[in-house]
Structure formats: C-alpha cells, structure tokens
Amino acid sequence: MPDLVIDVRNAVKQYGVGAASIFALDDVSLQISPGEYVAIMGPSGSGKSTLMNIMGALDNMTSGKYFLDGIEISAMDENSLSIVRGRKIGFIFQSFNLIPRTSALANVELPLAYQGIKSAERKLRATKALEVVGLADRMSHEPTELSGGQQQRVAVARALATRPALLLADEPTGALDSKSTHDLLDLFDQINEAGRTVIVITHEHDVAMRAKRTIRMRDGKIISDELNSGKVA
C-alpha cells in the first residue's frame, strides 16, 4: 500500500478567462494518509467543493497533479475514470443525488451493478449496507417517500456498498437535524475505525471536531492544516 491515499500537488482550478476569471483553487497541495479522518472547513466560495470534486475524480483541474493510491488520476481519460470512481471512492453529496423514482435498494445496488456484480450478491450487499445505516425497513421506498436524513443515509449506504477505501462527503449534514447529524457522524466514526479514509466538508465546528485533522481554506488556498486537539492522527 502506498504511503499516501491522496496526493494533490499544486492544484489550480480556474473558471473563466481574462479579467473575469476566478481561481477556485489557487495552487493547493494536500497529502492524506490511509485511515485518516479529515474535516475541510472554510467560508462559502473558498473552494472546498471544488477540491473535493477533484479528489473524487468527478472534475478535472486546470493545472497540477493528483495521485490517488499512487495512481495519477490527473493523467487519466474520462473512460478509465469510471473504474476509479466505482471501486476506490464513495462520494456523498450535500444534495444526496439519488436516482429519482427508484427504490432505496435499487439506488444502493446501482454502483455494484456497474462493477459487474451479480444480482444475488448485489442484493445481499446492498441490503447489508442499508442495515448498517439503519434503513432495513425502508428498502423499497423511493427517494420522495423518505425524509432528508433517510435520503442522506441511503446515499451513505450507496457510497459504502462498494467498500471503497476513501469516503468523501460534501456537507453531508447540511440538510439534517441534530439527531440525524449525530447518527451520521457515529457512522463515519465506525467507518473510519474500520480503517477507511474519511474526508468531510463542513461548516459546523462540532462536526469538524469529530475528525482527527482539520484543513481550513480561504480564496482557493489552504490557510491552515492542523490536528484536532485531543486526537491522534
């Protein structure tokens, strides 16, 4: 196993050209080791989501290099990236991004199906993932029949079902009440304790404090990167 699960070097993301151009990421470098639990904080528009999307292989950058598990993602083409997305990364969006009018179970099965896993095993693993997030009794419900917290847990189950080494969550608690937030964070603790790398974007201080390391951003730059007091990296 390589020393770093994430190795971002001099990432630049520029939107627009000329005078109107914006640097969403301005020469960002970031290294994360396997098994870390990292929180990313910063004011709105500071580039957190941009960085997260690049780490999740969902977006490209204007310049710079990105290695995931030692593989250079920034050099891969769109076609080969689907394997990386499917196998290595579990991505949780702030807005859930479930497939509409499709049951919770089918949503969780979907990434497994794209990996070519057979229907029976798929069902088993998806059911297990839904049990882990406490939705065993809601498997046949469609997204519109679930509360925000339940939808977010379906999204977490979908991210976990493929057993990715890296879990990325962009403001996963933004739409949740304190109880749901608490449940979700407990889940992240469990996942991290199982040895997986967890990276969470958040605006909330107590959410960030559950992580072991906090990175702060402003204007597309990392302005601080420190271990949370009382925690061991």
Ligand X SMILES: Nc1ncnc2c1ncn2[C@@H]1O[C@H](COP(=O)(O)OP(=O)(O)OP(=O)(O)O)[C@@H](O)[C@H]1O
Contact (Cβ atoms closer than 8 angstroms) between residue 213 and residue 226: yes
Stretch that binds ligand X, among 44-52, 134-142, 176-184, 225-233 (CB under 6 A): 44-52
Stretch that binds another protein, among 86-94, 123-131, 196-204, 220-228 (CB under 8 A): 86-94
User: Judged by CB, which is closer to ligand X: 1, or 17?
Assistant: 17
User: Judged by CB, which is closer to ligand X: 44, or 79?
Assistant: 44
3-state secondary structure of 81: helix
Q: CA nearest 122: which of 131, 114, 113?
A: 113
Q: CA nearest 65: which of 75, 79, 51?
A: 75
4: burial class by Cβ within 10 Å (0-12, 13-18, 19+)? Answer: middle
User: Judged by CB, which is closer to ligand X: 117, or 222?
Assistant: 222
56 binds, among Mg ion, another protein, ligand X, none (CB under 5 to 8 A by kind): another protein
Other CB atoms within a 10 A radius of the CB of residue 58 amount to 16
172 binds, among ligand X, another protein, Mg ion, none (CB under 5 to 8 A by kind): none
Applying CB under 8 A, among 14, 33, 60, 94 the residue interacting with another protein is 60
- Assess 22 for contact with another protein (CB under 8 A): no
**Least distance to another protein from the beta carbon of 119, Å?**
8
Other CB atoms within a 10 A radius of the CB of residue 96 amount to 20
Q: Which amino acid is at 216?
A: R
Q: Give the DSSP letter string of 99-119.
A: PTTS-HHHHHHHHHHHTT--H
Cα distances (Å, whole numbers) of residue 31 to 28, 47, 67, 69, 194: 10, 17, 10, 11, 21
Applying CB under 5 A, among 49, 107, 150, 202 the residue interacting with Mg ion is 49
Stretch that binds another protein, among 1-9, 18-26, 110-118, 192-200 (CB under 8 A): 110-118
User: Judged by CB, which is closer to another protein: 113, or 132?
Assistant: 113
172: burial class by Cβ within 10 Å (0-12, 13-18, 19+)? Answer: buried
3-state secondary structure of 140: coil
**Least distance to ligand X from the beta carbon of 200, Å?**
13
24 binds, among another protein, ligand X, Mg ion, none (CB under 5 to 8 A by kind): ligand X
Applying CB under 6 A, among 36, 48, 168, 181 the residue interacting with ligand X is 48
Name the site residues for ligand X (rule: CB under 6 A): 15, 22, 24, 42, 44-50
Name the site residues for Mg ion (rule: CB under 5 A): 49
